[in-house]
Amino acid sequence: MPGEEAMKRRLALMGLIFFLACGVQQALGQACTLTITALNFGTYTSTLLNGTATGKVTCAGAWTIPFGTGNGVGATETVRVMTGTGGATLNYQLFTDAAHTNNWGNTTGNEGSGTGNATVTIYGQIPAAQYATPGTYTDTMTSATTSFAVSTTVQATCTVSATSLVFGNYVGALLNSTSTISATCTNTTPYKIGLNAGTATGATVTNRSMTGPAGSLLHYSLFSDSGHTTNWGNTLGTDTVSKTGTGAVQTLTVYGQVPAGQYVTPGNYADTITVTLTY
């Protein structure tokens, strides 16, 4: 069985963090201003994604720029949260450095700081492996004197992998074995998993074969139930398996069976099945 399979579609996470006119704290009480361009994350495919925004500080003396936790439930200065429909959440972070090691918060020592007129960069990051419910996510980041909006759009995405199906030694008697498929899809995303006919000559989804010495064939079947009654094929809505994503890994068992009474040429037999996840 193959490990990681190609998806039908990819998650498109269009990230925009809009920094509106934002206040700056100034040590001597003089008026300071800050404007920052939009931070556009682009497309998110459940892998780590970075983005930047550029700010302009106008100030006569020393200044600091604090950013709070935002409005997301459970958000902290180090893990901020955008909120979507039904209370779904998506984590993101803000940093003061390009290496994404220094968190940008609102306590002494982790605020942005400088002296005089300056250009500053805010480094945003969306961590990998988040499978949030598709939809629009927003947050409001508050500084000492004002706030700015944070928004992004999450679209459905999935990943899938599978373990090998190993039957062991066949001596002419019926033989069973199992494989595990692991699927991770964005929360509430419906999906279907299909298994193709394999690579053997003349194979179909109801009559698969492993190929051995000199092209010898050993027939076997794949089922979606432990009773070995429901064939697992790749026709959507007919013989595929349907699930709904939760944002966490979901496992499905493939039940393999080699029928008895096959007296083929001794040797090693193998086949490759392609797992297709459609959502």
Strand, helix or coil at 135?
strand
Say if residue 257's pLDDT is above 70. yes
Pairing of strands 118-126, 135-142: unpaired
CA 78-29-94 angle, 5° bins: 15
In percent, how much of the chain has pLDDT > 70? 87
Q: What whole-number distance in Å separates Cα of residue 227 and Cα of residue 225?
A: 5
Spatial contact of 186 and 247, defined as CB atoms under 8 Å apart: yes
Q: For 52-95, what is each residue's pLDDT tens digit?
A: 888 889 999 999 998 889 889 999 999 999 889 899 999 999 99
Q: For 125-170, what is each residue's pLDDT tens digit?
A: 999 999 998 888 888 876 655 567 778 888 889 999 999 999 999 9
| pLDDT band at residue 3 under the 50/70/90 scheme | very low
Alpha-carbon torsion 20, 21, 26, 29, what sign? negative
**More confident site: 42 or 247:** 247
Give residue for tokens 């893990």: 79
Q: What whole-number distance in Å separates Cα of residue 71 and Cα of residue 82?
A: 8
pTM (2 d.p.): 0.78
Domains and CATH numbers, the chain: 14-154 (2.60.40), 158-278 (2.60.40.1090)
Say if residue 209's pLDDT is above 60. yes
pLDDT at residue 17, rounded to an integer:
35
Say if residue 11's pLDDT is above 50. no
Q: What whole-number distance in Å separates Cα of residue 93 and Cα of residue 90?
A: 10
DSSP state of 70: -
pLDDT at residue 241, rounded to an integer:
98
**Mean pLDDT over residues 218-236, rounded?**
98
pLDDT at residue 139, rounded to an integer:
85
Mean pLDDT of the chain: 86
**More confident site: 267 or 56:** 267
Q: What whole-number distance in Å separates Cα of residue 58 and Cα of residue 119?
A: 9
**Mean pLDDT over residues 212-226, rounded?**
98
pLDDT at residue 146, rounded to an integer:
56
pLDDT at residue 86, rounded to an integer:
92
In percent, how much of the chain has pLDDT > 90? 63
Q: Of 131, 104, 122, nearest to 47 (Cα)?
A: 131
Say if residue 27's pLDDT is above 50. no
Q: What one-character-per-residue DSSP string does 235-270 give?
A: STTTTSEEEE--SSEEEEEEEEEE-S---PPSS--B
Helix, strand, coil percentages (3-state) for the chain, rounded to 5, are 0, 45, 50
CA 274-245-272 angle, 5° bins: 10
pLDDT at residue 68, rounded to an integer:
87
Q: For 88-107, what is each residue's pLDDT tens digit?
A: 999 999 999 999 999 999 88
**Mean pLDDT over residues 22-41, rounded?**
65
